[in-house]
């Protein structure tokens, strides 16, 4: 498993507490960039801009990736464009919602 795959696996351990779906299957992770020096930049969003769990979710994302031994610097960029919508969810995430 390469580092990019390990990062995605680690991110699956971070759940949106309101929906009880991990951030990957929920479609909140827009991009994961891993450099040759093992720096990781994650571009993500939240389901709503006013999400009261903003700090909890973004901190969970950062900590889950920092827990991978091979990673160096981890940066989380929170963006609002494009806005999240249920269409961004994976088939597994949609199943968890009963769709």
- Domain layout of the chain by residue ranges: 3-96
Handedness of CA 33, 34, 37, 41 (dihedral sign): positive
Is residue 57 within 8 A of residue 46, CB to CB? The reply is yes
In terms of C-beta density within 10 A (0-12 exposed, 13-18 middle, 19 or more buried), how is residue 23 classed? buried
* pLDDT of amino acid 59: 95
User: How far is Cα 64 from Cα 60, in angstroms, rounded to an integer?
Assistant: 6
Residue 99, pLDDT above cutoff 80: no
> How is domain 3-96 classified at the architecture level of CATH?
2-Layer Sandwich (3.30)
User: How far is Cα 5 from Cα 96, in angstroms, rounded to an integer?
Assistant: 22
Local confidence band at 71 (pLDDT 50, 70, 90 cut-offs): very high
Beta-carbon count within 10 A of 2 CB? 8
Residue 40, pLDDT above cutoff 90: yes
Overall residue count recorded for the chain in this entry: 99
* pLDDT of amino acid 4: 96
* pLDDT of amino acid 42: 98
Kindly report whether the global pTM for this prediction surpasses the value 0.85.
Answer: yes
């Amino acid at each position: 498993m390469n580092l990019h795959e390990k990062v995605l696996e680690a991110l699956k351990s971070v759940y949106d507490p309101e929906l009880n779906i991990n951030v990957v299957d929920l479609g909140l992770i827009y991009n994961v960039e891993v450099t040759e020096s093992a720096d990781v930049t994650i571009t993500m969003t939240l389901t709503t801009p006013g999400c009261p769990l903003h700090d909890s979710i973004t901190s969970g994302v950062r900590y889950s990736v920092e827990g991978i031994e091979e990673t160096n610097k981890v940066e989380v960029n929170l963006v609002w464009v494009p806005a999240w919508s249920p269409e961004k969810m994976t088939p597994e995430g949609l199943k968890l919602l009963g769709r």
